Structure 1
Amino acid sequence: MYLLTLSESKPPNIVFIVADDLGWNDVGYHNPEIKTPNIDKLAREGVILNQSYVQPLCSPSRSSFMSGYYPFRTGLQHLVIISFQPVCLPLNISTLPQELKKLGYATHMIGKWHLGFCKWECTPTYRGFDSFFGYYNADEDYYNHSLSRVPFKGYFLDYRDDRQPVRDQDGVYSTHAFTKRAESVISQHDTSKPLFLYLPYQAVHEPIEVPKQYENMYPNIQSEGRRKFSGMVSALDEGIGNVTAALKQKGIYDDTIILFTADNGGWVSYYGNNYPLRGGKFTIYEGGTRGAAFIRGTGITGNRTYDELIHAVDWLPTLVSAAGGSVTGRDGQDLWKSISTGSGENRTEFIYNIDDDFPPVEGHAGIRYYFFIFFIIPMLPVLMGDYKLIEGYPGLFPDWYKPDTEMSSLDDPVEEFMAREGYKADNGYQLFNIKEDPTEHNDLSTKNPEIVAKLKARLEYYRKTFYVKPNFPILPDFAADPTKFNNTWSPGWC
């Protein structure tokens, strides 16, 4: 192991990279069939986070990153924010970039927002970012940067440079565009200030689109979809390599923390893969919530793995702590010392989700809890069980899927799955010992009713004390109609 030193005179630069819908099995350091040399190198130089948890879908995870609160406390736990919903991350919550600006940081965002845009106050440059280049929604075309949403007819632009629509990038692949902008932000950065760059790439979310040269890197993969998806991962990896090179060219690489994480598990319908973990995007099984992640850089003892728990809500207090500040009163826990040095206070509990709304498309509720026993001599805690309780429906796509699994030939695999499997909205419980059974094959609920009862009570405590009903309007707000905004998805209608 080696230690990259943190300057005492200046906070570290922070580059926070998010890969959209990247599966556990979709990075080279977990699966050598995937060509990600830049990601692998960074991961092995730093700390590979073996139990880094996110939410089962996009908006909930991003709200956790930015706020430090569980989505069931902000009303964002049900599905994702849809283009026509007058919903955003609550404006009374200070965000990660706002907290870092208090410490003197220059803050920039490039990529996918997906935390609401119905009014300007919801958008990135009003939530703490000095600049924004990217898009507000979820799943636009990688080349023409537009998307359609029923009930509105047509495809409408969703691409912004700060407040202004970007209309001269038709045909430019978004992974390349975001990397190019990141290189520009880094090269123009005033090094008298620390830099915070939030870089949530569009890749590898559907639609499955990639320049041919990246697909051609995988001639041995028979499935066209999986071959293209793998090429998307390699294009992303190339972009991360170029961002790393820009940091080195600027002379700030050695003073920078790089955090990389998926926002949820891979979407098996669109060729993402989480094997051997169970499930994927939409589920609160491990395949939907245990994200591929690592952190490396200044102040971090590298070349090791971190096997303790960390949740998406922890990144706000942890990164603020790395920057020399502190934030209290959030669900997130400051794990900087534990992650950076391997010694310090660890997380012993977190909530996968609590979503009492209907339909239960993603996981209904779940909790993770470490049980300890204390010995008098010496007075040390010993881990006796690492248990996970799932309440009710665990979510769509709940099985074990190998990389060559073909899930769907229809336009909407979620609707296909629902038609075939139904909601299965039962009220039962499943219990797993994740330390002994990380792939969740052995339900222990009938064998350990006393543990089920304890975790049910703990889950109910969170529900009664902190639960906020999902802010998820069913009917579209027609004020969002992009034809009223020059055929562009735009703020200003709520």
Structure 2
Amino acid sequence: MLVLHVAVVVLMNISWIAAKRPHILFIVADDLGWNDVGYQNPDVITPTIDGLAKQGVIFQSSYVLPICSPSRSTYMSGMYPYKTGMQHIVIGGRQSVCLPLELRTLPQQLKEVGYATHAVGKWNLGFCNLKCIPTYRGFDSFLGYYNTQEDYYNHTFGGYLDLHDGERVAREYDGQYSTHVYTNRTTSIIEAHDPDQPLFIYLPYQSVHYPIQVPDKYADMYPHIGNEGRKKFSGMVTAMDEGIGNITRALQDKGMLDDTIILFTTDNGAELLKYGNNFPLRGGKHTLWEGGTRGVAFMAGAGLQHTGIKYNGLIHSIDWMPTLIGAAGAPQAEVDGVNQWDSIRLNQPSKRSEFIYNLDDFHIPTQGHAAIRVGDWKLILGYPGESDGWTKPMNDTKDTALLYNIYSPGDTPSYLFNITDDPREFHNVAYQHPDIVQKLTKRIQEYRLLMVPAKYPAKDPAADVAAKKNGNAWASGWC
């Protein structure tokens, strides 16, 4: 059982915090949907996730970006992607771009107050220059892959191997399932760690992003599911849950669990075509509907005074960096995010009443265009993104048909919802409330004055040259 370290919230003098900074385990699931965890869907087998969530704080209104690189940029920087050029879809393997180097990352700031910092799993924030990779962005170690996806067993993507241990190509894991690889590395870090030093582990699992691959024993746990894709996807969720169980057990065995904050979140809503599910929310990954942006998330562990609760306050992914820095008792940087630590641990109202879902004016209409939330109201301008509708889990034999939005350029049409009254976005009330549409549109225009162009260059053939020279493995140093 997870026991809370209540002394964190009793003794708040600076010298005590410096001596007792909590360990932090920040877990990111890839493409995990609102309806893809057991505590929200009993058909999914996630006993560890369910136990941690129910002993902690389950976030009902935790928002992310509609796709992975933008969300991951917020975790590391605390900044809106539209201000850093990270707002448009994902950083591709052949693009000469990365998270801007002038940004001070979360691990860099934690290292300044004594943390050991480790990253295990998916990076997807650029690697064309050596200064872009995790061990140059504040992490003491990194085992994982640079790109957006890869094969779970041979660890290849786009024709090249993509698995690195620090700067070294890690060829020794061929044939090993990535969820197990990342779990084992994380437990090894914990086992070797001195508990007297605060520890930060960033664990962005590959799971459950496609390709849909999992050892048979996990898929076989779902005999009631007739759809092979959903069956394997569910098994992938359970394999990740087992990994998290092994990690929390390692923390317990090391005597560190009671002193650890565990933050779990998805990076975006589920990819509906790849068997994830966001029901009863509308839409999915790539969209500004709630199904693409309202993320399954919870926090458990040290410092939380009110547990076993559902927290309805607004939280955006830009808030996680200042919130974790606040929990660590470290100096705050000037970022877009706000420190929600006191709001979460004391079950107080959120410090956020407004946020931007995303602003993306790039010419390729792959994802939603623009949306804002102010209080209860949500306004979407123009294209919401590629998928629409309220898709239930694909438990039957056949794949479920999806509805698609038709692309329209610019800020029309407008969609207005009262999310508190209508969280499923059934009723577009834009015509009934033109004054609110006008007010929120003005707010979006004000934010657009701060927008920088999306950093989304054409493919650079130098990436292939570098990979071939590196023994057919993705490499840095070509930009």
TM-score (norm 2): 0.94
The total of aligned residue pairs comes to: 464
Given that 1:269 and 1:406 are in contact with CA atoms closer than 8 Å, whether structure 2 keeps it comes out as no
1:252 is matched with 256
Cα RMSD, aligned residues only? 1.8
2:13 is matched with none
The residue correspondences of 1:317-336 to structure 2 (distance < 5 A) are 317-336=322-341
**Unaligned stretches of 5+ residues in structure 1:** 149-154, 371-385
Q: C-alpha separation between the residues in 2 aligned to 1:252 and 1:57?
A: 33
Whether 1:20 aligns to 2:30 is: yes
Task: Find the partner of 1:477 among 460, 474, 478.
Answer: 460
Task: Find the partner of 1:164 among 154, 162, 168.
Answer: 168
> Post-superposition shift, 1:3?
5.7
- Code of the residue aligned with 1:25 in structure 2: it is N
Given that 2:271 and 2:277 are in contact with CA atoms closer than 8 Å, whether structure 1 keeps it comes out as yes
Deviations 1:162-197 (A, max 9, x none): 110011111100000100000000000122210000
The 3-state SS of whatever aligns with 1:133 is: strand
Deviations 1:374-418 (A, max 9, x none): xxxxxxxxxxxx000001100011221111189998xxx9xx999
Task: Find the partner of 2:121 among 107, 111, 114.
Answer: 111
Task: Identify the range of structure 1 (291-300 vs 425-434) with the bigger mean alpha-carbon deviation.
Answer: 425-434
The 3-state SS of whatever aligns with 2:264 is: strand
The 3-state SS of whatever aligns with 1:247 is: helix
Whether 1:231 aligns to 2:239 is: no
Whether 1:134 aligns to 2:144 is: yes
> Post-superposition shift, 1:486?
1.5
Task: Identify the range of structure 1 (95-104 vs 338-347) with the bigger mean alpha-carbon deviation.
Answer: 338-347
Q: Aligned in 2, Cα 1:156/1:293: closer, same or farther, shift over 3 Å?
A: same
2:74 is matched with 64
Q: C-alpha separation between the residues in 2 aligned to 1:400 and 1:126?
A: 42
Q: C-alpha separation between the residues in 2 aligned to 1:349 and 1:173?
A: 41
The 3-state SS of whatever aligns with 2:387 is: coil
Whether 1:194 aligns to 2:194 is: no
Deviations 1:300-339 (A, max 9, x none): 0211111000010001100000000232421100000001
The residue correspondences of 1:58-457 to structure 2 (distance < 5 A) are 58-148=68-158, 155-301=159-305, 302-343=307-348, 346-370=351-375, 386-404=376-394, 422-425=406-409, 427-457=412-442
- Code of the residue aligned with 1:11 in structure 2: it is R
The 3-state SS of whatever aligns with 2:251 is: helix
Given that 1:279 and 1:399 are in contact with CA atoms closer than 8 Å, whether structure 2 keeps it comes out as yes
Q: Aligned in 2, Cα 1:224/1:138: closer, same or farther, shift over 3 Å?
A: same
Given that 1:6 and 1:12 are in contact with CA atoms closer than 8 Å, whether structure 2 keeps it comes out as no
1:376 is matched with none
Given that 1:273 and 1:401 are in contact with CA atoms closer than 8 Å, whether structure 2 keeps it comes out as yes
Q: Aligned in 2, Cα 1:405/1:219: closer, same or farther, shift over 3 Å?
A: closer
Q: C-alpha separation between the residues in 1 aligned to 2:98 and 2:187?
A: 29
> Post-superposition shift, 1:424?
3.5
- Code of the residue aligned with 2:27 in structure 1: it is I
> Post-superposition shift, 1:242?
0.3
- Code of the residue aligned with 1:477 in structure 2: it is D
- Code of the residue aligned with 2:470 in structure 1: it is F
- Code of the residue aligned with 2:109 in structure 1: it is E
Whether 1:41 aligns to 2:51 is: yes
Deviations 1:59-106 (A, max 9, x none): 000000000001000001011000000010000000000010111100
Deviations 1:472-493 (A, max 9, x none): 01x3100000223220111010
- Code of the residue aligned with 2:227 in structure 1: it is S
Q: C-alpha separation between the residues in 1 aligned to 2:331 and 2:345?
A: 16
Whether 1:461 aligns to 2:446 is: yes
Given that 1:396 and 1:417 are in contact with CA atoms closer than 8 Å, whether structure 2 keeps it comes out as no
> Post-superposition shift, 1:344?
5.4
Q: C-alpha separation between the residues in 1 aligned to 2:243 and 2:195?
A: 22
Given that 2:122 and 2:145 are in contact with CA atoms closer than 8 Å, whether structure 1 keeps it comes out as yes
Q: C-alpha separation between the residues in 1 aligned to 2:341 and 2:284?
A: 28
1:151 is matched with none
**Unaligned stretches of 5+ residues in structure 2:** 9-15
Q: Aligned in 2, Cα 1:325/1:293: closer, same or farther, shift over 3 Å?
A: same
Given that 2:384 and 2:405 are in contact with CA atoms closer than 8 Å, whether structure 1 keeps it comes out as no
Find runs of 4+ consecutive structure 1 residues off by over 6 angstroms: 405-409
The 3-state SS of whatever aligns with 2:238 is: helix
Q: Aligned in 2, Cα 1:90/1:417: closer, same or farther, shift over 3 Å?
A: farther
Q: C-alpha separation between the residues in 1 aligned to 2:369 and 2:50?
A: 34
Q: C-alpha separation between the residues in 2 aligned to 1:239 and 1:59?
A: 24
Q: C-alpha separation between the residues in 1 aligned to 2:471 and 2:328?
A: 42
Q: Aligned in 2, Cα 1:166/1:191: closer, same or farther, shift over 3 Å?
A: same
Q: C-alpha separation between the residues in 2 aligned to 1:224 and 1:407?
A: 7
Deviations 1:404-454 (A, max 9, x none): 189998xxx9xx999x86533362210000000000000010000111111
Task: Identify the range of structure 1 (182-191 vs 340-349) with the bigger mean alpha-carbon deviation.
Answer: 340-349
- Code of the residue aligned with 2:270 in structure 1: it is G
> Post-superposition shift, 1:340?
0.8
1:493 is matched with 478
The 3-state SS of whatever aligns with 1:275 is: coil
> Post-superposition shift, 1:366?
0.4
2:64 is matched with 54
Given that 1:47 and 1:296 are in contact with CA atoms closer than 8 Å, whether structure 2 keeps it comes out as yes
The 3-state SS of whatever aligns with 1:444 is: coil
The percent of aligned pairs where both chains have the same amino acid is 54
The 3-state SS of whatever aligns with 2:248 is: helix
The 3-state SS of whatever aligns with 1:259 is: strand
Q: C-alpha separation between the residues in 2 aligned to 1:137 and 1:252?
A: 32
